[in-house]
Amino acid sequence: MRSPSSPSKKELTVLFELILNILLLLGLIYALAFNVLEAAVPVKVQKNPYALQPNVWPQVIMGLLIVCILINIFNIIRKNKGKPEFSLAQFGKSVPDFFKTKMFFGMLIVLVTSFILEPLGFMVTSFLFLVAFGYLLGDRKYGRLVIVALVITLFLYIVFGVLLQVNLPRGTVPFLRDFALWLEALL
Amino acid sequence: MNMLQMLGSGLAIVFEPTMLLMVLFAVIIGTIFGALPGVSATMAVALGLPFTYTMEPIQAIVFLVAIYCSSITGGSISAILFKIPGVPSSAPTTFDGYPMAQRGEAGKALGVSLVTSAIGGLVSALAMFLLSDPLSKAALRFGPSEMFAVTFMGLSILTSLDSKNVLRTIISGLFGLLLATIGQDPMYGVQRLTFGSKQLLSGIEMIPVLIGIFAVTEVLNQTMETRRLKAEDGIDGGRVNTKMPKWAEWLSIKWVIVRSAIVGTVVGILPGAGATIASFLCYSTETKLSKHPEKFGTGIIDGIAASETANNAATGGAMVPLLSLGIPGGNAAAVMMSALVLKGVQLGPLLLRHQPDYLSATFVSMIIANIVMVFVAIAIAKVFAQILSVPYSILGPVIIMLAVIGSYATSMSIMDVKIMAIAGIAGVLFKVLKFNSAAMILGLVLGSIVEGNFSRAYTIARGNIFEMFNKPIAGIIMLVCIVALIYPLVGPTLKKRFGRKAKLTQE
């Protein structure tokens, strides 16, 4: 894992910005065309000439957004046109670097955590997350990392699960659920 | 209920032993969160949310307000000792606070910062107490046109949030408004933009998005910056004994404090403008008004007083539109608003009419928090080195786990945790796109209120948009909105043109 600090990072970010803007634009056009209304408008609303139809407000916002994003795309191209770094080939070369950054792994860990919380439950998820993210942030004292993760998990569980009575997820995997119930009974 | 009765009821709520302990706890964690670089005041309030789930709505707002006030003050500790503002609104405090620390006057700088913070907070709390009720009474006469105009005013300030990035700020605000349209429309319940997902039928939950954007994004951004904090010379390993300046020195900055408290409160009241704008504005104003402007930035107490009085004054100001109109005055107020909405509180002008306790309890909480935080901050400054020795490899993951619990406990839904994670990642992409997260949040929070009022006003005006604003209050507010919206776009061009003309005339 490394921090992206190559000389052309700024320009590559600009190209990434351009690509994201284009994707946002395409997504908006798709949503505007197919997803604004997803249920029938009641007849009395349709027949009321003075009622603001439910599709109008989002359509106006999307229309404005499309215009603004088009101007933004135009501005990005105008400001960076002609720069050697502002090319797809150069961008393609730098993409693998992004997948080695701490930022990417951080995003991945957060996303995975949100998905494993339900099957594994709070205790296991919290412990695994604290160890993984601590490691990502540079902690290499493994013993301390594990102990700290255990202590913090228990602390958070006692404060929120026991004292504040938040029903923290116990997990859907049978033995992990049994473990959580056993621990709860113990606490 | 008259003012004295209100005050009595507020005191009764806050001085209940458990509540008082919770306020003290809120002040301690607020000051620590605020002092930690990378934890903003909004993030501190968002991280305080999980503690409020078992509380009554009034207790929740009392608790969150105490965190908010103390976190703004806590930000000055690291600003003075390490030149790193704990919260963005403490950035101007570094200009004079850090040079004072370099001279070995960190204790005095902290003393000025804490006392002026408390004064700013107390003045604005009083302003909130006096202004909220009349404002909500006036707002009771507002119809949908006026309410639309008032909420639109919150959005019109979008273009002023980041004057160098107006287009991207507008895109961010519109994006927030679009997110607010997901789910059922506020008038007829017709589902929109759900992409067939049942979970999106009730719309995007605000709290997970707020927590994701303000907490998770910040920790993810920190993965790229591994910085080590080092206290300046003259500070004994980060151990600082706060000292109060002499009486003559206080007298020399009395007008700085008065002006900053007033301006800070007014800026706080404006929807969208918050503590950061207040502190920068007051610092630059005092530089211009000072008899010795050249000394600003070299380490004088005037600069610290301007910045710290103003940013704390903005806290009370931000609560005025929230309590009287149901419109958040800033990001932290938006988090508090989400917490109240979650508890089923109907925000708006009727809130204070039916439940004046919200105002009185918030007022008493702010008074207590602003006084107690001075002593708490003095104690925290003494052990600040130990607090900062907690490595970020522990603090960062703990912040995210608190964010997970905060999002999950909103409605005991795993979907909310996923929304939080996606919002956190989207916040990072927002940074790449140079979009403005604060503008997006403003759009998201105000979206359904703006749409609902517009829709009602449109029907009453029989579909005639000009008729909607053919009323004195609505018309004037809309005019102000249009000027506020357009000026940052055309202002620089006008300045250039008139500047050039003036030059030519002079020549």
Q: Is the pLDDT of residue B346 over 50?
A: yes
What percent of chain B is predicted at pLDDT more than 70? 91
Whether B196 has its CB under 8 Å from any CB of chain A: the answer is yes
Residues of B in contact with A113 (CB under 8 A): 400, 404, 421
Closest-CA distance of chain A to residue B61, Å = 17
CA distance B142 to chain A (A): 20
User: Can you point out the beta strands (E) in B362-427?
Assistant: none
Per-residue pLDDT band for B329 (boundaries 50, 70, 90) equals confident
pLDDT band at B385 (very low <50, low <70, confident <90, very high): low
Torsions phi, psi for A170 (to 5 deg): -95, -10
**Nearest chain A Cα distance for residue B412, angstroms:** 7
CB contact under 8 A, B187 and A20: no
Q: What percent of chain A has pLDDT over 70?
A: 94
Amino acid at B95: F
Q: Based on the domain organization, do A78 and A155 belong to the same domain?
A: no
Do A83 and A127 lie in one domain? The reply is no
Pairwise CA distance, residues B365 & B129, whole Å: 12
Mark yes or no for CB contact A137/B458 under 8 Å.
Answer: no
Shared-domain flag, residues A19 and A67: yes
The yes-or-no verdict on residue B494 having pLDDT over 80 is no
Chain A CB within 8 Å of residue B392 CB: yes
Residues of A in contact with B398 (CB under 8 A): 130, 152
| B188 → closest Cβ in A45, A114, A164 | A45
Q: What is the pLDDT of residues B18-65, one digit of tens each?
A: 889 999 999 999 998 888 776 778 888 988 888 888 888 889 989 999
Residue B246 DSSP SS3:
coil
> A138 to chain B: nearest residue by CA?
B393
A157-172 pLDDT tens trace:
988 888 877 888 989 9
Give me the half-sphere count of Cα atoms (radius 13 Å) on the Cβ side of residue B493.
5
pLDDT band at A2 (very low <50, low <70, confident <90, very high): very low
Q: Can you tell me the distance from the alpha carbon of B265 to that of B260, in angstroms, rounded to the nearest whole number?
A: 8
In this prediction, residues A8-16 reach a mean pLDDT of: 66
CA distances from B291 to B288, B297, B311, B413, B484 (A): 8, 14, 23, 58, 32
- Name the burial class of residue B72, with classes exposed (0-12), middle (13-18) and buried (19+) by CB atoms within 10 angstroms of its CB: buried
The radius of gyration of chain B's CA atoms, rounded to the nearest angstrom, is 23
Distance of alpha carbon B36 from alpha carbon B111, whole angstroms: 19
Please state, in angstroms and rounded to a whole number, the distance separating the CA atoms of residues B507 and B503.
6
How close are the terminal C-alpha atoms of chain B, in Å?
A: 66
Asked if the Cβ–Cβ distance from B394 to A57 is below 8 Å, we say no
Considering the domain architecture, whether residues A137 and A67 belong to the same structural domain is answered as no
- If one compares A187 and A161, the residue with the highest pLDDT of the two is A161
What does each C-alpha distance from B288 to B66, B267, B283, B295 come to in angstroms?
33, 18, 9, 12
Residue B220 to residue A164, Cβ atoms within 8 A: no
Residue A64 binned pLDDT confidence (cut-offs 50, 70, 90) = very high
CB B286 within 8 A of CB B295: no
Query: In residues, how long is chain A?
Result: 187
Distance CA B31, CA B74 (A): 4
Mean pLDDT on A109-124: 95
- Give the nearest chain B residue to A57 (CA atoms): B451
% of chain B beyond a pLDDT of 90: 20
Cβ within 8 Å, pair B408-A166: yes
- Residue from A17, A104, A141, A160 whose CB has the most chain B CBs within 10 Å, to mutate: A160
Put simply, the answer to whether A48 touches B459 (Cβ < 8 Å) is: yes
- A131 and A160 part of one domain: yes
How many inter-chain contacts (A to B, CB under 8 Å) are there?
Answer: 186
Domains of chain B, by residue range, sit at 3-506
With CA atoms as reference, report the closest residue to B308 among B56, B85, B29.
B85
Weakest mean pLDDT among A33-42, A123-132, B66-75, B261-270? A33-42
* A3 falls within a domain: no
Three-class SS of B269-311:
HCCCCCHHHHHHHHHHHHHHHCCCHHHCCCCCHHHHHHHHHHH
pLDDT (tens digit, 9 = 90+) per residue, B356-365? Answer: 888 888 899 9
Give, to the nearest 10 degrees, the angle between helix B106-140 and helix B301-325: 20
Look up residue B469 and give its DSSP letter: T
Question: Does B364 lie at the interface with A, CB-CB under 8 angstroms?
Answer: no
Q: In terms of domains, do A89 and A131 share one? A: no
Do A139 and A84 lie in one domain? The reply is: no
* B304 pLDDT above the threshold of 90: yes
Q: Please give the mean pLDDT across all residues of chain A.
A: 86
| B396/B47 Cα distance (integer angstroms) | 12
Lowest mean pLDDT among B78-92, B153-167, B203-217: B153-167
Residue that is last in its domain, among A69, A96, A123:
A96
Q: What is the mean pLDDT of residues A152-159?
A: 90
Q: Does residue A88 lie within any of the structural domains? A: yes
Residue range A8-32: average pLDDT? 83
A-chain residues near B396 (CB < 8 A): 133, 137
In angstroms, the separation between the Cα of residue A156 and the nearest Cα of chain B is: 8
Q: Do the Cβ atoms of A130 and B401 come within 8 Å? A: yes
Q: Which of B164-168, B229-233, B370-374 has the highest mean pLDDT?
A: B370-374
Decide which of B437 and A65 is more confident: A65
CA distance B217 to B428: 6
Q: What is the pLDDT of residue B501?
A: 66
The amino acid present at B463, given as its one-letter code, is G
Q: DSSP per residue over B149-206, as a string?
A: HHHHHHHHTHHHH-GGGHHHHHHHHHHHHHHHTSEE-TTT--EES-TT-STTTT---H
Q: Could you tell me if B389 lies within 8 Å of chain A, comparing CB atoms? A: no
Contact A21, B433 (CB under 8 A): yes
Compute the average pLDDT of residues B327-339. Answer: 83
Tokens 């998201």 locate to B444
Do the Cβ atoms of B455 and A57 come within 8 Å? yes
Residue A10 has pLDDT above 80, yes or no: no
Q: How far is CA A180 from CA A176, B228, B485, in A?
A: 6, 38, 54
Q: CA–CA separation, B191 vs B172, rounded Å? A: 23
> In the listed set A64, A96, A128, which residue is the last one of a domain according to the structure?
A96
Q: How confident is the model at residue A134 (pLDDT cuts 50, 70, 90)?
A: very high
Q: How high is the pLDDT of residue B448?
A: 85
The least confident of B2-11, B209-218, B375-384, B492-501 is: B492-501
Best residue in A104, A114, A158 to probe B by mutation, most B CBs within 10 Å? A114
Note whether ipTM > 0.90 here: no
pLDDT of residue B149: 87
Integer angstrom CA distances of residue B211 from B44, B47, B333: 10, 8, 13
Residue of B174, B223, B421 with shortest CB distance to A103: B223
Domain carrying residue A59? 9-96
Q: What is the pLDDT of residue A4?
A: 42
Decide which of A96, A128, A145 is a domain's last residue: A96
Please judge whether A134 and B455 are an interchain contact, meaning their C-beta atoms are less than 8 angstroms apart.
no
Q: What angle in degrees, to the nearest 10, is found between the helix axes of B392-411 and A102-136?
A: 100
How many domains, in total, are found in chain A?
A: 2
Across B140-144, B174-178, B278-282, which has the greatest mean pLDDT?
B174-178
B358 in Cβ contact with B58 (< 8 Å):
yes
Q: Hey, CA dihedral for A177, A178, A182, A185, is it positive or negative?
A: positive
Report whether B151 contacts B322 (CB < 8 A).
no
pLDDT at B240 over 90: no
Per-residue pLDDT of B143-166, as tens digits, reads 889 888 888 877 776 676 666 788
pLDDT score, position A143:
92
Answer yes or no: do A46 and A65 share one domain: yes
Could you tell me which residue, A26 or B43, shows the higher pLDDT?
A26
Who among A39, A114, A134 is closest to B393 (CB)? A134
Ramachandran category for residue B297: left, alpha or beta (phi over 0 → left; psi -120 to 50 → alpha): left
Task: Give B 268-327 residues with CB within 8 A of chain A.
Answer: none
What residues of chain B, 34 to 53, have a C-beta less than 8 Å from chain A?
Answer: 50-51, 53
Same domain, A30 and A92: yes
- Which residues does B22 contact at the CB level (< 8 Å), separation at least 6? B51, B55, B59, B62, B63
CA distance to partner chain A, nearest, from residue B505 (Å): 34
Percent above pLDDT 90 for chain A = 44
What pLDDT does B55 receive? 86
Residue B275 has what pLDDT?
Answer: 81
Determine the distance in angstroms separating the CA of A134 from the nearest CA of chain B, rounded to an integer: 5
- A165 by Cβ neighbours in 10 Å (0-12 / 13-18 / 19+) ranks as exposed
Give me the residue from B190, B224, B421 closest to A110, CB to CB.
Answer: B421
Q: Measured between CA atoms, how close is B498 to chain A, in angstroms?
A: 26
Q: What is the pLDDT of residue B503?
A: 65
Residues of A in contact with B428 (CB under 8 A): 103, 107
* CB pair distance less than 8 Å for B454 and A160: no
